[in-house]
Chain A
Amino acid sequence: MSTPRELAATHWDLVVVGGGNAALCAAIEAAEQGASVVILEGAPEPYRGGNSRHTRNFRCMHHAPLSVLTDAYEEDEYYDDLLRVTKGETDEHLARMTIRASEECLPWMEAHGVRFQPSLSGTLSLSRTNAFFLGGGKALVNAYYNTAEDLGIRVAYEAQVTHVAMNGTRFEAVEADIGGEHVTIAGRAVVLASGGFQGDIEWLARAWGPAARNFLIRGTPYNKGVVLKDMLDQGAESVGDPTQCHAVAIDGRAPKFDGGIATRLDCVPFSVVVNNMGERFYDEGEDVWPKRYAIWGRLVAAQPEQVAYSVIDAKSIDLFMPSLYPPETADTIEGLGQKLGIPGTVFRNTVEAFNAACQPGTFSHNALDGLSTSGIAPEKTNWARPLDTPPFYGYSLRPGVTFTYLGLKVDDGARVSGTTGLFDNVWCAGEMMAGSILGQGYLAGFGMTIGTVFGRKAGQGVAAYLNGNHNNAR
């Protein structure tokens, strides 16, 4: 390890701000072209990698079976999947370019130590579209840090970049607090890959309103948007809507920060979901859970105190993925309401009305079974079975934010735009620019695709710039 002063004494070819997937891809690409590279990772070493630590797969276009991926997954189908979740909030040119580039990324990832495995149990629907990392995202991050070490890339942990020093359209240095020392680290180029701002609750509250203080931050707590704000203040062009983020409904007892995948709750389609006044507010059976999963973060965020309760009975307790926390249980609906903290009789009335509205039919837990309610609002359009078999079980739900979409505008080569055009030597990759492509909603594995594609492009662009053939970089 180098001391902060040693790092500051060097004039680096490339300074990489951030230490997740996109940052590492950029650093590796540039170092392989001979650049001297330093990575400034804000988190301490055990938490390195940002949200990449919590990811598990990579969505990849392919014309034929590729590595662990089956069949083919072509550009148009991939783009249609993206359009469906973003409802058109995407930059088609950048999106299609990202999709096309994803195919060549997979072999590159394997060549740099990433190991893939067939789809995990319970996610078989993704075996064609998504390649899963053996051991998950932290194993990918470890592989890239080992590659970086072998390439002679220097890494500083707990290195919080506070300011990007620009001279007009040129980057000159970053200011950073590293291990309690304030230093200036100069370089010929910079790649900004330090994520969104979900770790800054005050910023979230400014964007969302006070409700955001009740959100759980499912992703890394180290993405506080310091560099993002600094660049926006200095005239970098922005993309994305500050109120848009990847937010899902997770177990309400999950940690305030960094709960990750395990906080998922899959019981909603088989349940009755009520708010803290005991009232239903949305069709729990709209579609199978992976498809509807991402909308429930916003639904719960709109409820009083940003909390909801998913209630099932003994018929359904074994129908969904294991939960991280044990459910609350009681032999009566009133008793369960007391344990969950839902006062009064509204909850019981809601359940009785729901039970009375359930229609006869055949229940099927692994298909849209059309078993729906009649005569209540909102209706439940699938898997509607009365809650009549004690014990009753309840899980609390809260919005869990993984990352925010407000970011910097980049071109095809990942170069950042200022008010008067592209900056000379500033690139950006990963969640910090993902809002260009992912304007709203979320597509499983697409964050890693954006990070890998733009990280690599940034690194290649830097290398070309350093070698003086800038115009060929794109």
Chain B
Amino acid sequence: MPAEAMDVALQTSPHDLGLGTTGEARRQIEVCNACRYCEGFCAVFPAITQQKVFTDGDVTQLANLCHNCRGCFYSCQYTAPHEFALNLPKALAEERAESWERFAWPGVFGGLFQRHGVAVAAALIAALAAMFAVVSAARPAGGDGFYAYLSHAGMVAIFAPAFLLPVLAIAIGLRRYWAHVGGAPVTWRALVDAFGSAGRMKNLAGGQGQGCNFEKGDRYSNARRHCHQSVMYGFLLCFASTSSATLLHYVFGLEAPYDFISLPKLLGVPGGLLLVAGGIGLAVLKTRADPALSAARLWGGEMAFVLLLVATGLTGLLLYAATGTAAVPALLAVHLGAVLTLFLLAPYSKMVHGFYRLAALTRDAQLRQTR
């Protein structure tokens, strides 16, 4: 923010409690900016020090840059019972979740699946039922492997829209985010920086590679960072597996089922294993972490989402293991139901955090590169 634009009317007093989600996050950010002891932990604090007053867009950007590593909380001299009552990981988590609700399209789904694990489970059950119905009722006349139960055309008819519509919804949300935080046109350099940070999960490294204060109180640990990496790369490998199968199908005329020594399997099997192991790890860590340092009302939705990821990977692996057995139709329905749920909920569940995080990292890289 240029010096001449400094608007002190934006500044709050540290004693002004009850300002609403964005106002509370702003109040806490202002205390951090006057203290600055946490500057070495993650990208949030150096970003804070570049400004003296914070617009709503600035607050949203900082909230989405926060990875909830909690290093700042355990180092903070102003946490409750101190009268400033700082809990920045929680304040930013609340603001973050609320921002995803505001930017969600269509807005009616905004908070539903973020907040309610039950809604995620219900969506899963509905998708499973639909898949069982399709697999048992619309069995094709021919086809190998799982195409014997659901034709390729049938799969495309279901999953092309189930993939493209969420992508559209997320794109609309990201556009809204970018306008809100005042983002500039995206450069290749900023993207490289952002993907580099995400790829190493730099902001969960505690600034010096010692990791987070997530599940062991004020002791540091890299467990969450490693589990998160496992899930992220596992998911990306699974996604690459499916993409490679699509290419083999359409470009090379090679149809499923594929041998173990094939691109879809070589990508998909390790991907599934990473996804399952990392997801279980994250779920366990989540039970050990202090829920008061996050948006507590989102706990159920986040846990349901992690378990949905685990279920997706696990059923995929089981489906492959069951090749040629009578369990295939049931496992196929379950696996496809899980995948369908994951895709459809992506814009309205914790899944969306990855996209907003990348946007925030990109914006942060832009700001660092222009100063």
A residues sitting closer than 8 Å to B (CB atoms) are 44, 46-47, 53-54, 56, 115, 117-118, 120-122, 132-139, 142, 145-146, 253, 255, 258, 260-264, 317-318, 321-327, 329, 393
CB distance from B289 to the nearest CB of A (A): 17
Tell me the complex Cα distance, A264–B34, Å: 8
Give chain B interface residues in 184-210, CB to chain A under 8 Å. Answer: 207-208, 210
Set B11, B35, B39: member contacting A262, Cβ < 8 A: B35
Interface string of B1-22 (1 = CB under 8 A from A): 0011010110111100000000
A143 closest partner in B (C-beta) = B218
Tell me the complex Cα distance, A86–B219, Å: 38
User: Inside 8 A of A264's CB, which chain B residues have their CB?
Assistant: 34
Tell me the complex Cα distance, A278–B218, Å: 48
**Which among B12, B13, B49, B77 has the highest number of chain A CB atoms within 10 Å?**
B77
Query: Are A329 and B35 interface neighbours, CB within 8 A?
Result: no
Give chain B interface residues in 34-84, CB to chain A under 8 Å. Answer: 34-41, 46, 49, 52, 71-72, 74-84
User: Inside 8 A of A137's CB, which chain B residues have their CB?
Assistant: 37, 77
Given contact pairs A115-B208, A134-B40, A318-B3, A326 touches B77 in the complex (Cβ within 8 A): no
Tell me the complex Cα distance, A324–B79, Å: 16
Query: Are A317 and B8 interface neighbours, CB within 8 A?
Result: yes
Query: Are A142 and B78 interface neighbours, CB within 8 A?
Result: no
A115 closest partner in B (C-beta) = B208
Given contact pairs A134-B40, A135-B72, A262-B34, A146 touches B218 in the complex (Cβ within 8 A): yes
Tell me the complex Cα distance, A142–B210, Å: 14
B32 closest partner in A (C-beta) = A262
User: Inside 8 A of B207's CB, which chain A residues have their CB?
Assistant: 117, 134
B5 closest partner in A (C-beta) = A318
17 contacts between A and B (CB under 8 A): A44-B81, A47-B82, A115-B208, A120-B36, A121-B49, A122-B36, A134-B40, A135-B71, A135-B72, A136-B77, A262-B31, A262-B35, A262-B84, A264-B34, A318-B52, A326-B8, A329-B8
B207 closest partner in A (C-beta) = A134
User: Inside 8 A of A117's CB, which chain B residues have their CB?
Assistant: 39-40, 207-208
User: Inside 8 A of A115's CB, which chain B residues have their CB?
Assistant: 208, 210
B24 on interface, CB distance cutoff 8 Å: no
Given contact pairs A121-B36, A136-B37, A136-B38, A54 touches B77 in the complex (Cβ within 8 A): yes
Tell me the complex Cα distance, A263–B52, Å: 15
B33 on interface, CB distance cutoff 8 Å: yes
Query: Are A134 and B41 interface neighbours, CB within 8 A?
Result: yes
B30 on interface, CB distance cutoff 8 Å: yes
Tell me the complex Cα distance, A324–B13, Å: 7
Given contact pairs A253-B13, A322-B52, A326-B13, A260 touches B78 in the complex (Cβ within 8 A): yes
CB distance from B293 to the nearest CB of A (A): 14
Given contact pairs A46-B79, A46-B80, A318-B6, A135 touches B38 in the complex (Cβ within 8 A): yes
CB distance from A266 to the nearest CB of B (A): 10
Query: Are A135 and B37 interface neighbours, CB within 8 A?
Result: yes
CB distance from B128 to the nearest CB of A (A): 46
Query: Are A135 and B81 interface neighbours, CB within 8 A?
Result: no
Question: Lowest 5 A-B CB distances belong to which pairs?
Answer: A136-B37, A135-B75, A117-B40, A326-B11, A262-B34
User: Inside 8 A of A322's CB, which chain B residues have their CB?
Assistant: 30, 33-34, 52
Tell me the complex Cα distance, A134–B39, Å: 8
Query: Are B208 and A325 interface neighbours, CB within 8 A?
Result: no
Tell me the complex Cα distance, A244–B221, Å: 43
